[in-house]
A and B are shown apart, each in its own frame.
Chain A
Amino acid sequence: MAIREDVLVVGGGLAGMSAALSAAETGATVRLLSHKKSTLRHASGLVDCLGYTGDDGPLADPYTGLSDLPNEHPYRVVGESAIREGFDRFDGVVGDSYRGGHTDANALVPTQAGTIKPTARYPASMAAGLASDARSTLLVGFEGLSDFDAPLAADRLAAAGVPFDVRGVTLRFPKEFRADAKLTRYARALDRDEEPDRDRAPRFDGVRRALAELVRPKLDGAERVGFPSLVGDDENDVVREDLANRLDVPVFELAASPPSLPGVRLESLFLAALDEAGVRRTTGNPVVDYESEDGALTTVYTDKNGQRVPYGADQFVLATGGLVGKGIGSSRDGVREPVFDCHIPHPEDRYDWSATDAFGDQPFARFGVVPDDDLRPLDAAGDVEFSNLRAAGSVLGGADFAAQKCGSGVSLATGHVAGERAGALI
């Protein structure tokens, strides 16, 4: 068969990309097969390690919470040093575009919704906004931007007890856009410093300057200014610095709910790293079938409208995500892993899948494949499904990503381990 690599990773999320990078570092040739574009572009851009365990949280230091996690949690399977290595890899990919690597402690990042999120790594654009910092804060929103209500967010942050004064104002963006204009429209206008509308900013010829002039009279002593996550896209650093210089106070972005431009920016950083590492990527068609020989996978097939294309490899990594990423499917007949049909333990009775208490412990959130110490999925009898298949990321069972705020960290740690072991076997 013509298309062959040493290591083949199925799934292009954070777990798959980390696995591909770690495998490539061992010297193996690697291909990443992904159905959809990387899911990072519909993520928030924050990278969590561990925020909560059971009743505990938010945790000041995620590493202190590890021992409270159940044995089957992926963090317990790979261990603390693998988690650290996973984050080291992340730090290497993002360079100084991200912050938080200097400490084990969780940062508290304010969001556009007016909540505080404990997270391990955050974009540099959010650095001046941390909730642990006592500088008084002005939040600026725009008329017509439905995702963000600055006065409401400010009230919520104040009610949450942040240690600083916070106010919110809603301004008219210096250039008029349609009522439901996309985030990308604002970001582009700032990136390119487009001309403002004459009736909104008669005196200035660039939107950045015009925006700064609109904000200035509202400062009223505020020591930093927060905007929604649309302060430029490609030129985010430049735009932020330009605004900060004109206003004479630091400027930051608030974390947004997905999809967000910080998520899109994180995706570009990872794609550049994959390129640099020589990882081959094929995105657009799902893997739907496989062939195996003597208990080892030999080939997987992608599908395009019924057309099958074979991809061969010696080692495979399954990183297709959880229920959201479609790595785990549920139907009336049960819960399954659709690509290799790996065993996923779940109660026979559908009614036991979710707890009646909506806020209680949700068994279905932890559904996923069960790995051995080497991250190889196990069948119902406890034997490995395939000797050369490892699993990483939210396709693994045992973690409750939403409740524990550990999604990205689990993907980084398990992706790293799965990729490195697969590569080392070549």
Chain B
Amino acid sequence: MSDADTTPTDASTDSFEPVDVFSGEPMDLRPGADDCYKCTTCDTSCPVAEVDDDFPGPKFQGPEQWRLKRKGDDDIDPSINSCSNCMRCDNACPSSVPLSQMHNEARGAFVERQMEKLSTEYVRNRILANYRTSAWFASKVPQIANFAMNFGPARWVMEKTLGVTAEREFPAFAQQTFREWWAERGGAHVENPDKRVAYFHGCYSNYNTPEVAKAMVHVYEHFDYEILVPPQKCSGTPMFANGMLTDARRHARTNVEELAAAINDGADVIASCTSCSMALRQEYPELFDITDIETVAQHTYEGLEYLRINEDLRGAVEESEVDMPDMAYHAPCHARNQGLDRQAVELFRDLDGVDVEDVGPSCSGISGTYGWKEEKYDKSMQIGEEMFEHMEAGAGEEGMTECPTCAMQMEHGTGYEITHPLEVLQEALTETSAA
């Protein structure tokens, strides 16, 4: 079957369309910059500034750079590329300065105007940002891909020529993608015009961890939801972080169009990856001007969050029991920004048979593609150090998180196996086992 859409490169027709922020009316972020009263709280919350001596911090990247721009000095400081887009500065700012929006736009402008398009860095970043394209190819031949991607000599070449660190193991590709599985089972098993959700699975749970997507399906069908799985592309998260706004917008257009159609059919949108839900809810309306983009933002939820709001999830969990190992939970930065950092820990507190311990507010350090870059690898591990230590100090020998790249980092730093909260919920509420 065709996977998610016809081909991953089918957007070439509109790839010359410039992103809104650079054409027509530029977004005016000066009022945001003016709200900054230079308290530097953002700087003390930035995980990169804590370890990277070349990074001047969010206050500089955001409000100060915007003030400079107003004076006509147009060049963006290249240090913007060191911001990992973790968005921690955003919810630390007491004055609601739109810091990450400023960073995203500055990064986009830098890549557009100042970055050498033939440079290794650009090519590497573009490949990392377009993970979905590589994943799509790899999923066609998962065994070969799994071997080739982690084949020593090939990795050495990748590090030397592309600057992709050889320290990390590429995630394994599933033998069957989620969409293939979904088609094979004949799509939705529940029909219910009153309770409908459109699932934005994103790239990772389609190509790499379909078990998370399947858990989502089982749990939602348990609560009698009809699930739609619309065609979709990358949420854009890795593209924002690499300043590839043109690519991101192309994907966003398909996503918004398809999801808006599902909303029109009475569905709300749910995502199992917290960076995907973050992109749909916040980055899309901040960065792009696409018809229905606001409607999609307002109807998008994270998978666990939606059930907490609409079902008596606490009651259901209290009546259940599982037999699972203790887990160390890490809240992804992008979950924090949606106000979701505590929900898994609080929910599973009421579930017998599993102990889930919050490892605290530290950042995992991988921030999507950041930790894959050869020159950032050490920084990424330094940022992660605190999380690794807290994971190891805790009781459990396994981990839990919503974010696929945080999961990679957790596993890389501790060797723990990492579970998604929806998999625990599946174990608790349905006959289908997560194992």
Identify the A interface with B (CB < 8 A).
Answer: 2-3, 36-37, 39, 41-42, 177-178, 180-185, 188, 192, 234, 258-259, 261, 264, 268, 271, 275, 278, 280-285, 302, 304-307, 309-310, 324-326
Contact = CB atoms under 8 A, between A and B. Distances in A.
Given A304-B338, A305-B294, 10 more contacts: A3-B308, A36-B93, A39-B94, A178-B54, A188-B51, A259-B40, A259-B41, A275-B358, A302-B339, A305-B298
A96 B60 CA distance: 37
Given A184-B49, A309-B309, A281 B342 contact: yes
Contacts of B385: 192
Interface of B: 39-41, 43-46, 49-51, 53-54, 56-57, 60, 91-94, 96, 281-282, 285, 294, 297-301, 308-314, 336-343, 346, 349, 358, 361, 385-386
A179 B342 CA distance: 37
Which of A41, A183, A258, A307 is most buried by chain B, counting CB atoms within 10 A of its CB?
Answer: A307
Contacts of A36: 91-94, 96
B281 A261 contact: no
Given A2-B312, A258-B39, A283-B339, A178 B44 contact: no
A305 B282 contact: yes
B268 to A, nearest CB: 10
B282 to A, nearest CB: 6
Nearest to A259: B41
A284 B91 contact: yes
B207 to A, nearest CB: 28
B44 A182 contact: yes
Contact of A2 (B281, B310, B338): B310
A332 to B, nearest CB: 16
Given A304-B339, A309-B309, A182 B43 contact: yes
Contacts of A259: 39-41, 44
Contacts of A37: 45, 91-92
Contacts of A39: 94
A192 B386 CA distance: 10
A182 B49 contact: yes
A184 to B, nearest CB: 4
B295 to A, nearest CB: 9
Nearest to A274: B342
Contact of A280 (B93, B338, B346): B346
Contacts of A305: 281-282, 285, 294, 297-298
A184 B50 contact: yes
Contacts of B294: 305-306
A423 to B, nearest CB: 19
B92 A261 contact: no
Contacts of A42: 39, 41, 94
A306 B298 contact: yes
Contacts of B337: 284
Which of B39, B41, B340 is most buried by chain A, counting CB atoms within 10 A of its CB?
Answer: B41
Contacts of A41: 41, 44-45, 92
A278 B342 CA distance: 12
**Which 5 A/B pairs are nearest by Cβ-Cβ distance?**
A284-B339, A184-B50, A42-B41, A259-B41, A306-B298
Contacts, number: 112
Contact of B44 (A183, A192, A268, A284): A183
A234 B360 CA distance: 12
Question: At the interface, is chain B mostly helix, strand, loop or mixed?
Answer: helix
A26 B336 CA distance: 29
A192 B388 CA distance: 14
A314 B434 CA distance: 38
A280 B342 contact: yes
Contacts of A285: 338-339
A306 B40 contact: no
Nearest to B282: A305
Contacts of B336: 283-284
A261 to B, nearest CB: 7
25 contacts: A2-B309, A36-B92, A36-B94, A41-B44, A41-B92, A178-B53, A178-B56, A181-B53, A182-B43, A182-B44, A182-B49, A184-B46, A261-B44, A278-B349, A282-B339, A283-B341, A284-B91, A284-B341, A285-B339, A304-B338, A305-B282, A305-B297, A306-B297, A307-B281, A307-B299
A148 to B, nearest CB: 14
Contacts of A304: 281-282, 338-339
Nearest to B58: A182
A185 B281 contact: no
A78 to B, nearest CB: 27
Contacts of B96: 36
Contacts of A2: 308-314
A264 B44 CA distance: 9
A307 B44 contact: no
Nearest to B46: A182
A41 B310 CA distance: 33
A258 to B, nearest CB: 7
A325 B96 CA distance: 11
Which of A42, A177, A310 is most buried by chain B, counting CB atoms within 10 A of its CB?
Answer: A42
Nearest to B313: A2
Nearest to B301: A307
Contact of A177 (B40, B41, B53, B299): B53
Contacts of A310: 309
A185 B92 contact: no
A188 B51 CA distance: 8
Nearest to A284: B339
B298 A324 contact: no
Nearest to A275: B358
B310 to A, nearest CB: 6
Contacts of B386: 234
Contacts of A307: 281, 297-301
A336 B191 CA distance: 48
A278 B301 CA distance: 25
Contacts of B93: 36
A264 B310 CA distance: 35
Contacts of A192: 385
Contacts of A184: 43-44, 46, 49-50
Contacts of A183: 44
Nearest to A258: B39
B195 to A, nearest CB: 13
A278 to B, nearest CB: 8
A324 B299 CA distance: 32
